[in-house]
Structure 1
Amino acid sequence: MPKPFTPKVVTANALLEGDVIYQTATGWSRSLAEAEVLTDEADADLRLIEAVQQVDMVVGAYLADVDTSGDTPIPTHFREDFRAKGPSNYAHGQQEALSNV
């Protein structure tokens, strides 16, 4: 028996900058909060195919599980949580703006 489909987002890395990006309904965003949450398996597969074909913009596109019980999607796997927070090097990326580090 197949596993039930859970909500997902399409994620990848920006080709030029290497930043983690998420597919939105109209393009790409560096914010998981702006990601398009996909709840239909066929729709998710189509959106992933679209992402993989954007070889001039993204690399390594895949579907990532998210929890949608709150206001914004939350990663359900440690790897995705780590990626959403930005690079572990505080000198650049999303963590550069954090005041508590």
Structure 2
Amino acid sequence: MKILAANRLTDGVAVWLGEDDVWVEDISQARVVRDKEGEESLLRTGEVAFQRNEVVDAELVDVEVVDGAIRPLRLRERIRAAGPTIHPEIGKQALKRAVTLV
């Protein structure tokens, strides 16, 4: 299973491609694909968004779904989903429950 991750060009925030080709800041809203056709569709959408100067560094991310939650397999992507590595009472972490990294 895969999702498409990128960074929004205007502010550098990590985003994921959600339904209806909308970039979302919460990984739980990312569109999960399960086959090569889905992966190719995500990549095409990411390329169009790059050409429009909406996002940079669009890449497929391996994920699993655990108890209905999207969980990246790589630690790097789990950290991106949780937000910048700063105190949990400020920034993205203060807005929601932090993503478990292990």
TM range, smaller chain:
0.7 to 0.9
Which stretches of structure 1, 4 residues or more, deviate above 4 A after TM superposition? none
Residue aligned with 1:38, SS = coil
- Paired residue total: 94
Give 1:28 shift: 1.0
When normalised by structure 2's length, the TM-score is 0.80
When normalised by structure 1's length, the TM-score is 0.81
Q: Whose helix fraction is larger, Structure 1's or Structure 2's?
A: 2
Residue aligned with 1:68, SS = strand
Identity %: 27
Which of 1 and 2 has greater Rg? 1
Paired position in structure 2 for 1:3: none
Coordinate RMSD, CA, aligned:
2.1
For 2:33 and 2:77, locate their aligned partners in 1 and report how far apart those are by CA, in whole Å.
16
1:13 aligns with 2:10: no
List alignment gaps of at least 5 residues for structure 2: none
For 1:92 and 1:17, locate their aligned partners in 2 and report how far apart those are by CA, in whole Å.
17
